[in-house]
Amino acid sequence: MKKTRILPILAIGLSYSLLLIGCNSGDMDLTEDSYQLINLAEVKGELTGDDPEAMTLALFGQKEQVEGNFSQEIKILEKAGFEKTIILTQMNLPDDSVRGIRYQLQFEFEQSIGKWSLKKAGRQQSCYRSDSPTDWTIEPCP
């Protein structure tokens, strides 16, 4: 009678399960193609400056007082040499359909001028009335 080796199959299955458990769907949504690109020619404000975080808030941050439980968070996603990716998340917006907006901004340090330049920007939204209100999408909210 031939013996079957179940242990390697169990180990592979367990490894795959642990990999899936360790993945956070919120982090997986931060890929470049999951954002709706913003035309930088239509952005009002300075696209070059000394501080990418301050530029992010100046360009896309909430400037007026917001009622309710509004929050705004800025996070540096990547910082590699002369490139920086920043995520600005605004939650609990005073809108009956849009729960939150998340911007992804990619900056590059221009050595010739000694300043950071915004090279690419995109946006996503989270909807109150969706099947998954914690998910981010580029589709319009219902």
| 67-93 pLDDT, tens digit each | 888 999 999 987 888 999 999 999 998
pLDDT at 12 over 70: no
What does the DSSP 8-state code read for residue 138?
Answer: S
What spatial distance separates the first Cα and last Cα of the chain, rounded to whole Å? Answer: 62
DSSP helix/strand/coil, 4: coil
What average pLDDT does the segment 100-129 reach?
Answer: 96
pLDDT at 19: 30
Cβ 121 vs Cβ 40: under 8 Å: yes
pLDDT at 138 over 60: yes
pLDDT at 22: 32
82/1: higher pLDDT: 82
Q: What burial class does residue 56 get, using C-beta atoms within 10 Å of its C-beta: 0-12 exposed, 13-18 middle, 19+ buried?
A: buried
